[in-house]
Amino acid sequence: MLLSSLGTSIANVGLTTFAQAFTASFQEVQWIVSPISWRHHHLIVSVGRLGDITGRRRLLLARIFLFTVASVLCGVAPTLRLLITARALQGLGAAIMMALTMAFVGETVPKARTGSAMGLLGTMSAIGTALGPSLGGMLIAGSGWRAIFFVNVPLGLLTFLLAFRVLPLDRRDSQADRAGFDHVGTLLLALTLAAYALAMTIGRGSFGRFNVALLLAAVSGMGPLYSETRQYRL
My answer on whether 36 and 128 are in the same domain is: yes
Residues 6+ apart with CB under 8 A from 152: 3, 6, 7, 10, 67, 68, 71
One-letter amino acid at 183 equals H
What total number of domains does the chain contain? Answer: 2
Q: Which residue has the higher pLDDT, 154 or 180?
A: 154
My answer on whether 67 and 98 are in the same domain is: yes
My answer on whether 12 and 96 are in the same domain is: yes
Its domain, for residue 210, covers 182-234
Q: Which of 86, 94, 93 is nearest to 70 (CA)?
A: 86
My answer on whether 225 and 138 are in the same domain is: no
CA neighbours closer than 13 Å in the CB half-sphere of residue 80:
18
CATH code assigned at 108: 1.20.1250.20
My answer on whether 175 and 186 are in the same domain is: no
What are the tens digits of pLDDT across the range 207-223? 788 888 888 888 887 77
Lowest mean pLDDT among 46-55, 79-88, 121-130: 46-55
Q: What is the pLDDT of residue 107?
A: 77
Q: Which of 139, 138, 14, 131 is nearest to 83 (CA)?
A: 14
Interval 142-167 mean pLDDT: 94
In the chain, count H helices and then E strands: 14, 0
Q: At what angle do helices 183-201 and 209-233 cross, to 10 degrees?
A: 160
Q: What is the pLDDT of residue 124?
A: 93
Interval 118-123 mean pLDDT: 92
My answer on whether 41 and 110 are in the same domain is: yes
Quickly count: other Cβ atoms within 10 Å of residue 79's Cβ.
10
Lowest mean pLDDT among 91-105, 172-186, 191-205: 172-186
Interval 77-86 mean pLDDT: 93
Of 179, 206, 226, the residue at which a domain comes to its end is: 179
Q: Which of 229, 176, 234, 230 is nearest to 46 (CA)?
A: 229
My answer on whether 15 and 98 are in the same domain is: yes
Q: At what angle do helices 183-201 and 34-43 cross, to 10 degrees?
A: 150
Lowest mean pLDDT among 33-47, 84-98, 195-209: 33-47
My answer on whether 172 and 194 are in the same domain is: no
Q: What is the pLDDT of residue 108?
A: 84
Of 164, 179, 194, the residue at which a domain comes to its end is: 179
My answer on whether 165 and 121 are in the same domain is: yes
Task: Enter the pTM of the model.
Answer: 0.77
My answer on whether 170 and 208 are in the same domain is: no
My answer on whether 154 and 205 are in the same domain is: no
CA distance readout (Å), 44 to 12, 41, 136, 143: 21, 6, 25, 33
My answer on whether 221 and 140 are in the same domain is: no
Q: What is the pLDDT of residue 69?
A: 96
